[in-house]
Chains A and B, each alone.
Chain A
Amino acid sequence: MIDPRIDRTTGVIVQGITGRAGRMHTRLMREYGTHIVAGVSPKAGGDVDGIPVFANCKEAVAATKAAASVLLVGAEQLLSAIEDAVHAGIRLIVTPTEGMPVHDALRARRLTQEAGATWIGASTPGMAVAGEAKLGFLPEAALIPGPLGIMSKSGTLSYESGFRLAQRGVGTSIWIGVGGDTVKGTRFAELVPFYAADVKSEALLIIGEIGGSEEEEFAAALTAHRFAKPVFALIAGRSSPEGVTMGHAGALVHGSRGGYAAKKAALEQARATVFGSLDDMTNGIVAWHAARATR
């Protein structure tokens, strides 16, 4: 089973730590509580804000026993950076980078699966266990601890959703941005067993979008696993034109495939509540949260 759980003690590497984004996000992740123990960069030796910088993950793991890695490298280097992490035995790999070539993603998925590592991304703001640690960019204003698990293809739409819920007092357990690419490391359906078992997650919100078949697969997995917790869903792109990619590579609809109606029907068949707007979603989840508190 995929297990993306992290906490304040999980040792984390930042690959690409000496770059502009690497330095900034290392600082922001540490401020949130992430235990960053090492950096990796071709400019090895020395440190970034006191964090030692190694030439590769193998050396970083040998020196620090890191178990997770956040990869802040360019799309062209992403596959080889993932290979570096996998070969060093890293079990959780988070890759925010946008624009990974899809055939590279295919190879990275095969590689991480064969090695038994969990790969989150690419094109993701990352993931977080609220109140513990975050791997990536999720905004602190949206991250208060609570009972709602969140999975999302879109970064910004999940920020908006998480922020509205946080403002109304609904916090999150574990929040995973699976990313907007067609071929990715971890898909919605693959996280169903984890959320079913995770006692801190009392309900699940998935934020999907048109294109691909992840929402349909997720719906099938809910039924197959007899997922008993409430499931809420928001799907972006119901008014998007066919044949045009709307920003995310994965959000491309051909004919009836990948369309909004099919996704909504599949989710409702699996007893998920599909909301038509952000406001309805917020109100619906707040109502669930309030009812739960009075039980």
Chain B
Amino acid sequence: MFLLEHDAKSLLALHGAPAPEGALLENAQIAGAQLPPAPWVVKAQIAAGGRGKAGLIRTAKTRDDLQSHLGAILGATHKGMAVRACRIESQVTNVEETYLSFTLDPVSASVRVMLAARGGVEIEALAATPGALKSALAAPEPAALNAAVDELTRGLAPHIARALNDAGHQLARVFLTAELSLLEINPLFVRPDGTWLAGDAKIVTDDDAMFRQPKLRALLDSRASAYPEAHRKERFGCDYVVVDPEGEIGLLTTGAGLSMMLIDELRALGLKPYNFLDVRTGGLRGDPARLVNVLNWIAEGPRVRVLFVNIFAGITDLGEFSRLLLEAFAQVPKLKVPIVARLVGTNLEAAREFLAARNVPVSTDLEEAIAHVRRHLA
């Protein structure tokens, strides 16, 4: 998962990597808040790029500035995401901005190390400047990554070389031990004496490695409300994302690719799906609990007017699934919407009979089912 900057810097701090002093504010109440020394940079905490250009990163000299910037930034939306928190950071001066990153290279099964003596601009812009961005592939081992960093920093101005070298060695270890997919420091601040600080931090963690990353888990558990999707996946065993808070169609679907495609197709038809879901029917094991949770989440959609069930199952017994579905539905009385079911797979006839007796039409054809959905929305 993509960590918000504040959490990325907290993770770096756990590994001893330096960043400017900062505090997280989830509301505009600065009275009584533990703030780092002024002047400040106010930085919106959202998982999307282009914050600076969107006016979501601002400097503040006084508490009045700070108050007014917080008021403007908190609650603003950018790329469909609402800003729910800001990191208030001490402004750093007399530094040069450089670039350092570690990413996975899936083709060569290596780690790509990239660095640049001038950073602070988007990586795409750096990459377009000839000679600006230096890059090397290395085996996912500390010695190989250190050697790559040494090679890439050769020939840079001494204070920059020293800073990127130190940062490179330290962050290579963080990348490997925390099992990250992306670690990008841009800008990486370099002081004249060759010491460094992480100006920004982009980190993508591996949810699948969380079982052996206790530090990361503790950090994220304390911030569960900032990462509702990851929290849900871990706790409930399924992927759920609200794709349109104004959506009218609640989706109960299995399989990531098919669920994404269904959202694409509904939108292309001018319809408004509320959520993405990969419920993983294979993991239900005869218990409606997971479906009850999912239906409760869908019931939170204020405009949801129909529940569209689309299950194409290779293995799942659709008869059993249908029973679990209606059992779960009965436990979520606040979801008062009609159900449209499109089912393909094992034991379809039993499912059809069972659902038909309870006034739920079952289609095997997706387009026919979508037509049913449209009728309920008309």
Interface residues of A (CB under 8 A from B): 24, 28, 75-76, 99-104, 106-107, 109-110, 113, 125, 137-139, 141, 152-160, 163, 180, 182-184, 187, 207, 209-210, 212, 217, 234, 236-249, 251-252, 254-256, 276-279
Contact = CB atoms under 8 A, between A and B. Distances in A.
Q: Which one of B106, B110, B212, B254 has the greatest number of beta carbons of chain A within 10 Å?
A: B106
A242 B47 CA distance: 8
B23 interface: no
Given A276-B268, A277-B265, A252 B106 contact: no
A255 B49 contact: yes
B208 A101 contact: yes
B258 A110 contact: no
Contacts of A107: 109, 140
Contact of A236 (B208, B243, B257): B257
A245 to B, nearest CB: 7
24 contacts: A28-B315, A102-B179, A103-B176, A157-B261, A159-B258, A160-B312, A160-B344, A183-B106, A209-B256, A209-B260, A217-B107, A236-B258, A236-B264, A239-B267, A240-B260, A240-B276, A243-B47, A243-B48, A244-B47, A244-B229, A247-B260, A247-B276, A249-B207, A255-B122
B377 interface: no
B239 A110 contact: no
B263 A125 contact: no
A240 B81 CA distance: 13
Given A155-B255, A182-B104, A109 B261 contact: no
B124 interface: yes
A158 B314 CA distance: 11
Chain A at the B interface: SS class: loop
B229 A245 contact: yes
B85 to A, nearest CB: 15
B236 interface: no
A242 B48 contact: yes
B106 A182 contact: yes
B206 A241 contact: no
B276 A246 contact: yes
A182 B181 contact: yes
A239 to B, nearest CB: 5
B209 interface: yes
Contacts of B35: none
Contacts of A183: 104, 106, 109
B241 interface: yes
Given A102-B206, A125-B314, A239 B176 contact: no
Contact of A102 (B208, B211, B212): B208
A236 B260 contact: yes
A162 B253 CA distance: 18
Given A180-B256, A247-B259, 8 more contacts: A102-B179, A110-B109, A139-B345, A157-B255, A160-B366, A245-B1, A245-B2, A247-B255
B263 to A, nearest CB: 6
Interface in B326-378: 344-345, 366-367
Nearest to B140: A106
Given A240-B243, A243-B81, A246-B260, A156 B254 contact: yes
Interface in B268-318: 268, 276, 278, 312, 314-315
A154 B104 contact: no
Interface in B208-222: 208-209, 211-212
Interface string B114-133: 00000000101000000000
A182 B207 CA distance: 12
A248 B243 contact: no
Given A236-B264, A246-B239, A279-B367, A209 B257 contact: yes
B136 interface: no
B154 interface: no
B80 interface: yes
A156 B261 CA distance: 10
Contacts of B107: 187, 217
A103 B209 contact: yes
Nearest to B311: A156
A153 B104 CA distance: 19
A278 B265 contact: yes
Q: 4 nearest interchain CB pairs? A: A154-B257, A156-B255, A247-B256, A157-B257
